[in-house]
Amino acid sequence: MLTQEQTLRFVFKPLLLLACLAPFLHLAAGAAGLGGMSLGANPVESVLHGLGKWGLNFLLVTLCITPLRQITGWVHWMRFRRMLGLTAFFYLLGHFAFYLVVDRGLDLRVLAEDVIARPYITVGLAGLLLLVPLAATSTRASMRRLGRRWQALHRLVYPAAILGCVHYYWQVKADVREPLVYFTVLGALLGWRWWKHRQRLSRAAPAGRSRQIRFLPSLAAARGQQDGRQDERATRGRPRGHRLAQ
């Protein structure tokens, strides 16, 4: 009988890894024509768009992990977040590499022209660059080394996801319904985080006021004791004749 830890490590994580690799294997098999699979009349465009779309899918799934933990109370959702985030980066990096190598023939001059002339490429590249430090610091050692700065750094995933959705929306030339679905999902995920943040602030405010109310009497008492000690020292320091005259 497997323990919960063993089930997570040896059952759930391998299954998740297979699910993460399945779209890539499908695209690779279609591009190679294995098993009679085909990517249509324009396989280069199919692979390019497929990598980008799956990268954005996994990025949004990664952002779902925290709400799932908060809603279900199952803390082990967090065990899958790193794998999902790295999978998103893998697909998005593959999307850019395929565009640069296959679609543009590794011509950096053409890349520079595209970045300047096509805003959707500019925002897409900016979103990918924001994800680079997140992938580089995804290890436990980086978490320990950066401490609280790690969490602040990894909030870059939010603007990266926004830029990814903008990239998809601007890249689509006719039917924008699917990019709008991505914007809706992302808006719901960011709205959930904003709502939970407001809840934490509202709970923290009464606690802060109560601590302040408890602190004020103690501060007044401390000041009273300090004033009494000062009066006592002043009385002791007066001449004896002065005290007798009083």
- The average pLDDT across 58-85 equals 96
- The average pLDDT across 11-15 equals 96
Instruction: Please determine, for residue 28, whether its predicted confidence score (pLDDT) is greater than 80.
Output: yes
| pLDDT score of 207 | 62
Maximum Cα–Cα distance for the chain, whole Å? 116
245 within domain boundaries: no
Instruction: Please determine, for residue 133, whether its predicted confidence score (pLDDT) is greater than 80.
Output: yes
- Domain of residue 37 covers 4-201
213 within domain boundaries: no
180-227 pLDDT tens trace: 999 999 999 999 999 999 999 998 877 656 565 565 565 556 666 666
Q: CA–CA distance from 214 to each of 200, 218, 220, 221, 225 (Å)?
A: 21, 7, 11, 12, 17
Chain Cα centroid distance, residue 12: 22
Amino acid sitting at position 154:
H
CA 183 – CA 195 distance, rounded (Å): 18
87 within domain boundaries: yes
| pLDDT score of 242 | 46
206 within domain boundaries: no
58 within domain boundaries: yes
Which one has a higher pLDDT value, 198 or 240? 198
Instruction: Please determine, for residue 65, whether its predicted confidence score (pLDDT) is greater than 80.
Output: yes
- The average pLDDT across 39-68 equals 95
222 within domain boundaries: no
Counting the structural domains of the chain, the total is 1
| pLDDT score of 244 | 34
65 within domain boundaries: yes
**Angle of the 177-237 helix axis to the 43-72 helix axis, nearest 10:** 40
186 within domain boundaries: yes
Instruction: Please determine, for residue 161, whether its predicted confidence score (pLDDT) is greater than 50.
Output: yes
Instruction: Please determine, for residue 245, whether its predicted confidence score (pLDDT) is greater than 50.
Output: no
